[in-house]
């Protein structure tokens, strides 16, 4: 029997990360999870197990490149080369251009951009060798319409968008689908941006057939 496909979530959390894990788990995926807190990951592992979803986890801060590479390698060994990767790590910082500390901007960029780059460089060789797979990244409308008090987040998400769209063009010929899901609002339960609805949009992106790939989808609360 073929092994179940593997969804690797980098930046696993209790809202969108868990919703995505449940959605892909219902679709027959085993789940790999990376986040900073082992105790939080253990809670998610137990919750997914209660729903009959196989999962594994490894703790790492995405700004620690060596730790992130080690966590990815561990989950590739236990779950196989991912069929789908979801990069969902974020470090939200409030501040205006005149007053924000440069270190805050550096941290936001390290999480979104350098964390994504580390993940790409760790995962792309194996996925390119296999010749199939999707790498999905959650973005923000801040990258398209930045607000004055969110300069760090806007800069980080804009840079992430540029990285992903450039890499998408580079690796489509390798059979890989890289895409941004740009959210017009924060995921909140009971709204049009309910995490389950956003997870459904991620599932839809991941299932797009070759030749009909979307490099960026702006999610405004409506499911396609």
Top CATH class, 6-218: alpha beta
Per-domain boundaries in the chain: 6-218
pLDDT tens digits, 12-70: 999 999 999 999 999 999 999 999 999 999 999 999 999 999 999 999 999 999 999 99
Q: Nearest to residue 51, comparing CAs of 30, 36, 81?
A: 30
pLDDT digits (tens, 9 = 90+) for 156-202: 999 999 999 999 999 999 999 999 999 988 899 999 999 999 999 99
pTM: 0.96
CA dist 78 and 131 (Å) reads 20
Mean pLDDT score, 93-99: 90
More confident residue, 224 or 77: 77
Cα–Cα distance, 26 to 111 (Å, whole number): 29
Chain centroid to CA 24: how far? 13
Tokens 């999610």: give the residue.
219
Task: Name which of 165, 161, 194, 159 is nearest 177 in CA terms.
Answer: 165
Q: H-helix or E-strand containing 216?
A: strand 216-219
Nearby residues of 173 by Cβ (< 8 Å), 6 or more positions away: none
């Amino acid at each position: 029997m073929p092994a179940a496909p593997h969804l690797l979530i980098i930046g696993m959390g209790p809202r969108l990360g868990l919703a995505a894990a449940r959605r892909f788990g219902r679709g027959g995926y085993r789940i790999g999870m990376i986040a900073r807190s082992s105790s939080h990951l253990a809670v998610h592992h137990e919750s997914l197990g209660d729903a009959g979803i196989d999962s594994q986890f490894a703790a790492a801060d995405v700004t620690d490149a060596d730790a992130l590479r080690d966590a990815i390698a561990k989950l590739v060994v236990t779950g196989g080369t991912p069929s789908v990767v979801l990069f969902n790590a974020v470090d939200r910082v409030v501040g205006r251009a005149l007053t924000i500390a440069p270190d805050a901007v550096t941290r936001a960029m390290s999480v979104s951009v350098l964390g994504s780059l580390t993940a790409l460089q760790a995962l792309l060789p194996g996925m390119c060798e296999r010749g199939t797979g999707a790498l999905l990244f959650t973005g923000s409308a801040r990258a398209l319409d930045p607000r004055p008090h969110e300069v760090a987040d806007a800069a980080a998400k804009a840079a992430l968008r540029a990285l992903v769209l450039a890499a998408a063009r580079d690796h489509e010929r390798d059979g890989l689908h890289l895409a941004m899901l740009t959210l017009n609002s924060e995921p909140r339960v009971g709204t049009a941006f309910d995490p389950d609805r956003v997870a459904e949009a991620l599932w839809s992106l991941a299932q797009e057939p070759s030749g009909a790939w979307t490099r960026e989808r702006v999610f405004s609360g409506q499911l396609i």
